[in-house]
């Protein structure tokens, strides 16, 4: 696999061509790095599943470059979904809509719905535009990590996790550290009753300003399969324990104003909530790089983005033996 640092326009063009030729391209988005494939190419998409070691019934988000492409992939798009798209795209929001024929079972995991998003990162957007110029319809991209691991927010994390499973003609585009650092907010728009399936930086309060919305509180009631709802997701190798001070030799993640307990290893000292979200996955990975067996995390207080941080950290800490 080839790694391209700060890709030029020509290099992004080359990456778009690689996608069109059926290769995989890992690329930065504003949320986390994605592992991209041509969403209409079954063989290429099947490689995403094998590289990630992801069960094939977990659907993929298709990334598009403009709202006008929604109609290619989705039908019966409710008015409120268009409102959300207009307000938050390009940006960290994924809409689940009723699928059209272009969205095959190998993308949707056999469901009648399709996840769509326009990412805001300039490299991602340029890649999508160039891909369309080659006749591409959309880029399927889950987070570029092995199934169950925390999402990568740097190209080093991508390389560490999946580098050895990529082929010589696959590419990794390095666009620096992701600015948001946690995955997009996901909203189910398949009924008249929109529901937040995964919290993110587009918060409940921001959405409520536009439309009526509820949060999915009981994942067992939700018939849509969302792998982020599996409880042992977003886990480092280390055991993660929430809201307890660390002992000597343990990792510690907390806001900067909370001092490091004596003898423990500070993994992150964010000054605000946004920085907490942006750095938390890399901090967990750092704990693994340092071979720590336990990481203690003091969660920040509040709502909004804090809800998304809590959602991911609860999942990191609830893993069983694996
Ligand atoms: O920020 C993000 O959303 C990143 C970047 C790369 O765009 N992508 C991402 O993809 O987090 P992934 O596959 O790691 O997580 C997407 C979640 C999964 O839990 C998947 O099951 C769910 O979205 N999902 C995708 N398509 C869906 C669909 N049609 N119905 C229900 N859930 C869906
Ligand atoms: Mg993921």
pTM of the model: 0.95
For 162-196, b where at least 16 C-beta lie within 10 A, e where not — what string?
A: bbebbeeebbbbbbebbbbbbbbbbbbbbeeebbb
Rounded mean pLDDT, 121-143:
98
Give pLDDT tens digits for 167-190: 999 999 999 999 999 999 999 999
Q: Ligand 1: which atom is nearest the Cα of residue 229?
A: 19
Q: Is 128 in the pocket of ligand 1 (CB under 6 A)?
A: no
Residue 56 CA, ligand 2 centroid: distance in Å: 13
Lowest mean pLDDT among 73-77, 91-95, 102-106, 213-217: 213-217
Read off the pLDDT band of 319 (50, 70, 90): low
Pocket test for ligand 1, best of 55, 115, 154, 201 (most atoms within 8 A of CB): 115
Question: Residue 11: exposed, middle, or buried by beta-carbon count in 10 A (0-12, 13-18, 19+)?
Answer: middle
Q: Is 94 in the pocket of ligand 1 (CB under 6 A)?
A: yes
Read off the pLDDT band of 120 (50, 70, 90): very high
**Are the C-beta atoms of residues 154 and 27 closer than 8 Å to each other?**
no
Pocket test for ligand 1, best of 33, 142, 147, 195 (most atoms within 8 A of CB): 142
Give pLDDT tens digits for 217-229: 655 444 555 555 5
pLDDT for 229 equals 53
Q: Is 99 in the pocket of ligand 1 (CB under 6 A)?
A: no
Provide the percentage of residues in the chain whose pLDDT is more than 90: 90
Residue 157 CA, ligand 2 centroid: distance in Å: 13
Q: Is 115 in the pocket of ligand 1 (CB under 6 A)?
A: yes
Rounded mean pLDDT, 130-139:
98
Read off the pLDDT band of 234 (50, 70, 90): confident
Provide the percentage of residues in the chain whose pLDDT is more than 70: 94
Residue 142 CA, ligand 1 centroid: distance in Å: 6
Does 105 have pLDDT greater than 60? Answer: yes
Instruction: Return the ligand number nearest the Cα of 33.
Output: 1
Residues 6+ apart with CB under 8 A from 128: 63, 64, 65, 118, 119, 138, 139
Residue 228 CA, ligand 2 centroid: distance in Å: 7
Rounded mean pLDDT, 58-70:
96
Q: Ligand 1: which atom is nearest the Cα of residue 35?
A: 6
Q: Ligand 1: which atom is nearest the Cα of residue 54?
A: 13
Instruction: Return the ligand number nearest the Cα of 32.
Output: 1
Q: Is 183 in the pocket of ligand 1 (CB under 6 A)?
A: yes
Preceding amide of 90 cis, omega within 30: yes
């Amino acid at each position: 696999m080839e790694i391209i640092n700060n890709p030029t326009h020509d290099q992004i063009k080359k990456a778009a061509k690689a996608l069109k030729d059926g290769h995989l391209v890992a690329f930065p988005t504003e949320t986390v790095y994605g592992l991209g494939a041509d969403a209409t190419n079954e063989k290429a998409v099947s490689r995403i599943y094998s590289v990630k070691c992801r069960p094939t019934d977990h659907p993929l988000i298709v990334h598009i470059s403009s709202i006008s492409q929604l109609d290619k992939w989705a039908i019966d798009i409710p008015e409120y979904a268009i409102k959300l798209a207009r307000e938050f795209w390009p940006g960290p929001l994924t809409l689940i809509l009723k699928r059209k024929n272009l969205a095959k079972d190998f993308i949707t995991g056999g469901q009648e719905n399709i996840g769509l998003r326009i990412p805001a990162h300039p490299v991602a957007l340029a890649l999508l535009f160039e891909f369309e110029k080659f006749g591409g319809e959309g880029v399927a991209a889950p987070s570029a990590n092995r199934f169950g691991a925390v999402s990568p927010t740097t190209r080093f994390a991508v390389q560490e996790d999946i580098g050895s499973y990529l082929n010589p003609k696959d590419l990794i585009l390095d666009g620096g550290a992701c600015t948001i650092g946690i995955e997009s907010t996901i909203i189910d728009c398949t009924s008249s009753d929109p529901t937040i399936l995964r919290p993110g930086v587009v918060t409940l309060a921001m959405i409520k300003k536009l439309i009526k919305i509820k949060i999915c509180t009981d994942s067992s009631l939700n018939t849509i399969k969302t792998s982020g709802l599996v409880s042992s997701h977003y886990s480092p190798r280390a055991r993660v324990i929430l809201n307890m001070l660390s002992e000597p030799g343990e990792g510690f993640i907390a806001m900067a104003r909370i001092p490091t307990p004596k003898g423990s290893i500070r993994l992150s000292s964010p000054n605000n909530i946004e920085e907490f979200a942006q750095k938390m996955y890399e901090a967990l990975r750092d704990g693994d790089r340092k071979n720590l067996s336990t990481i203690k995390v003091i969660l920040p207080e509040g709502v909004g983005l804090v809800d998304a941080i809590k959602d991911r950290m609860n999942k990191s800490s609830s893993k069983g033996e694996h």
